[in-house]
Amino acid sequence: MTAVTIREVPDSVLEQLKLKAAQGGKSLQSYLLDLVTREATTPTLAEMMARLDRETRTELSTPDILAAIEDSRERR
């Protein structure tokens, strides 16, 4: 595993991070690793839109859809 260093973190930010880590019962290192991991594994909005576009594509035409609706109505 690689070590990562973040320089020049404002004291107020560091204190808030330490507080959040302590509230979660974690060390600062563990808390930050969880935070970075979650950020790295959460898809971006662009990635989610691309996935949605791939998964919702259809080959049906408007006449196909209208015919299916009409067929469904006739079966009632």
Domain boundaries, the chain: 11-74
State the average pLDDT over residues 8-34. Answer: 98
Residue 33: pLDDT band with limits 50, 70, 90: very high
> What is the SS3 assignment for 1-59?
CCCCCCCCCCHHHHHHHHHHHHHCCCCHHHHHHHHHHHHHHCCCHHHHHHHHHHHCCCC
Q: What is the tens place of the pLDDT at every residue in 57-68?
A: 778 889 999 999
State the average pLDDT over residues 31-38. Answer: 97
Prediction pTM value: 0.63
